[in-house]
Each structure stands twice: as structure tokens, then as C-alpha cells.
């Protein structure tokens, strides 16, 4: 869109304001995490920590076993990503590269599950896992990923597969390839960027999940970072230096993953929005 000088000036002013509003809380987080408690509460607020209290991080991360929480979160997240990628890419193959009677009906039925609020299945799922003896284990958080990996991801990958020319499959058939070989050596490698998008979203959703761990995990040595941080808040109310240091430590991995995979994140959201 062509824009006049006046409207451009307005746009820059608004964008500057938006930047302050969106980045401000991060600065407040970092600033508070590096201050001692007396400087945190000074009025008017100061922005530069003096002295810089790096030891806040050390204290925050040792009063609770954050190392264990980190490893738990990491284990769950990696297991879910692997399950999601394998299982949704195979299902998407079956819904786009193989022709079978009833395919579109089955796909539409699965799609309808996207509208279903998670709360409806919450209680029976919980009772089921409990009856099987898997309450207070990672299984309820991981196993579902291996069965379809979420209809949304299947949908996304299917959309992507549909853009790959059919001639590739036909040529491979002529050479005597099986469906599984076509999936493994043609379709999966060609959809690398879509697979990365799915993995990144899956990472964020699992890493940040709060309700799942809250419901299925009871023992503190199985807690995830999100649960641990929440418990930390209950114990250290008003210790804003430690709370902010712990929060910063939980936020950091997400920011790093985002900045590395930024391009894919933005592409991925665009893809989902356009096809909606």
C-alpha cells in the first residue's frame, strides 16, 4: 500500500509505542531478576540493577530442583515431538497420497474433533489413565502424540503434501517402490519445512503446557518447569527478585528456540491462517 508522509509518521509513532508496550514487560522481568530486594521496591522505579545480582539465578534455581524440572520437561517435550512428527506425517500421507473409499469422510470426522473443547474429554481420560495405573507418570502426556499427533498437525501436513506433484509418486511406483518407501524417501524429505513448523509449534505447546502436567503429575520429582514455577510462586510470594529470576530461566529456552526458528514460526502461522 502506498502511504503518505503523514500517515507514515503516525505509523512509526504507533509502532514505537507498541514496541515499548510489548517489550516493556520483558525488560521489567530482566531488571527485577537481577536486583536485590531493596532496590526492586525503590520509588520511583529504577531500571538499572546496581549491583547486578547474578546470584538471584543461582538461589532461585537451587531452592527448588529446577534441574530435575528441566529434564522432566525436556523428556516429555522431545517424546511428544517425535511422536507427533512421525504419526501426523504418516497419517497425512494416508489422507493425501493414497486414494481409498471413505477417505474424505473419515478426514472430515477427525477434523470435527478440532472444535471439541479439551475439557469435555478431560475427566474420562483422567479416569482411564488412572485405571491403567499410569496416574503420576509421563505416559498420559506423551502417548496420545503417537496416535495421530493432533488433527491440526495432520491437516497442516496434508495441505503441504497436496502441493507436491503426483508424478513423483507415479515415477517411484514404476520403479517398484512401495507406499512406505515413497513416504520415507520422497514425501517426508520434501516436506522438511512443514515438518519443522509442526515440530516448533509442538515444542511450544508441550513446553508451555500447564493443565496436562497439573492433572496427571502428583510427585514433585516428576514436575515440569511450568508446575515447578507455579509452586515456587506459592512458596515465595513477594520475593520478586527470586520469582523473576526463576521466570526468566523458564522463558529463556522458548525465546532461544523462537529466535532460531523464527522464519518457520511466521511461515507456519501464515499457512494455518490462510487455509482456515
**8-67 binders of another protein (CB under 8 A):** 8, 11-12, 14-15, 18-19, 22-23, 25-26, 28-29, 32, 40-41, 43-45
Provide the minimum distance between the beta carbon of 35 and another protein in the complex, in angstroms, as a whole number: 12
Nearer to another protein, 221 or 238 (CB): 238
d(CA 74, CA 111): 29
Nearer to another protein, 3 or 163 (CB): 3
Nearer to another protein, 75 or 208 (CB): 208
Binding footprint of another protein, residue count (CB under 8 A): 100
Identify whether the C-beta of residue 40 lies closer than 8 Å to the C-beta of residue 32: yes
Nearer to another protein, 43 or 48 (CB): 43
Binding piece for another protein, criterion CB under 8 A, among 48-56, 60-68, 146-154, 189-197: 146-154
Q: Which of 52, 71, 78, 127 binds another protein (CB under 8 A)?
A: 127
Q: Could you tell me the sign of the dihedral formed by the alpha carbons of 257, 252, 269, 11, in that order?
A: negative
Identify whether the C-beta of residue 34 lies closer than 8 Å to the C-beta of residue 54: yes
Binding mask of the shown chain, residues 148 to 177, with x at each position contacting another protein by CB under 8 A: xx-x--x-----------x--x---x----
Nearer to another protein, 50 or 103 (CB): 103
Per rule CB under 8 A, is residue 260 in the interface with another protein?
A: no
Nearest Cα to 114, choosing from 152, 87, 143? Answer: 152
Per rule CB under 8 A, is residue 95 in the interface with another protein?
A: yes
Q: How far is CA 89 from CA 149, 154, 196, 214, in A?
A: 9, 7, 12, 29
Q: Which of 82, 177, 190, 214 binds another protein (CB under 8 A)?
A: 214
d(CA 55, CA 37): 12
Nearest Cα to 214, choosing from 118, 148, 79? Answer: 118
Binding piece for another protein, criterion CB under 8 A, among 3-11, 49-57, 58-66, 190-198: 3-11
Per rule CB under 8 A, is residue 185 in the interface with another protein?
A: no
Cβ neighbours, 10 Å, residue 268: 20
Per rule CB under 8 A, is residue 274 in the interface with another protein?
A: yes
Nearer to another protein, 50 or 144 (CB): 144
Q: Which of 144, 168, 177, 193 binds another protein (CB under 8 A)?
A: 144
d(CA 210, CA 207): 9
Nearer to another protein, 44 or 192 (CB): 44
Per rule CB under 8 A, is residue 72 in the interface with another protein?
A: no
Q: How far is CA 248 from CA 21, 30, 143, in A?
A: 18, 7, 30
d(CA 91, CA 181): 15
What nine digits make up the cell of 40?
526492586
Provide the minimum distance between the beta carbon of 106 and another protein in the complex, in angstroms, as a whole number: 7
The DSSP result for 143-160, as a single string, is GGGGTTS-HHHHHHHHHH
Nearest Cα to 35, choosing from 225, 251, 232, 248? Answer: 248
Amino acid at each position: 500500500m502506498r502511504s503518505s508522509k503523514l500517515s507514515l509518521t503516525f505509523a512509526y509513532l504507533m509502532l514505537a509505542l507498541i514496541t515499548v508496550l510489548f517489550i516493556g514487560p520483558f525488560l521489567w522481568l530482566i531488571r527485577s531478576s537481577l536486583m536485590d530486594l531493596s532496590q526492586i521496591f525503590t520509588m520511583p522505579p529504577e531500571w538499572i540493577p546496581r549491583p547486578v545480582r547474578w546470584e538471584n539465578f543461582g538461589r532461585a534455581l537451587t531452592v527448588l530442583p529446577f534441574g530435575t524440572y528441566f529434564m522432566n520437561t525436556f523428556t516429555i517435550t522431545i517424546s511428544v515431538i517425535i511422536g507427533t512428527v512421525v504419526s501426523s506425517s504418516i497419517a497425512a500421507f494416508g489422507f493425501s497420497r493414497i486414494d481409498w473409499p471413505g477417505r474424505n469422510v473419515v478426514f472430515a470426522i477427525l477434523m470435527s474433533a478440532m472444535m471439541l473443547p479439551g475439557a469435555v474429554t478431560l475427566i474420562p481420560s483422567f479416569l482411564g489413565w488412572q485405571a491403567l495405573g499410569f496416574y503420576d507418570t509421563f505416559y498420559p502426556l506423551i502417548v496420545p502424540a503417537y496416535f495421530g499427533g493432533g488433527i491440526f498437525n495432520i491437516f497442516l501436513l496434508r495441505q503441504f503434501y497436496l502441493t507436491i506433484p503426483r508424478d513423483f509418486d507415479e515415477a517411484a511406483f514404476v520403479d517398484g517402490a512401495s507406499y512406505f518407501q515413497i513416504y520415507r524417501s520422497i514425501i517426508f524429505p520434501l516436506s522438511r519445512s512443514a515438518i519443522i513448523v509442526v515440530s516448533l509449534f509442538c515444542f511450544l505447546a508441550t513446553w508451555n503446557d500447564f493443565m496436562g502436567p497439573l492433572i496427571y503429575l502428583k510427585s514433585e520429582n516428576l514436575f515440569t518447569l511450568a508446575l515447578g514455577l507455579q509452586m515456587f510462586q506459592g512458596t515465595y510470594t513477594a520475593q520478586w527478585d527470586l520469582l523473576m529470576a526463576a521466570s526468566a530461566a523458564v522463558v529463556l529456552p522458548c525465546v532461544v528456540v523462537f529466535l532460531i526458528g523464527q522464519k518457520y514460526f511466521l511461515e507456519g502461522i501464515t499457512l494455518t491462517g490462510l487455509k482456515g
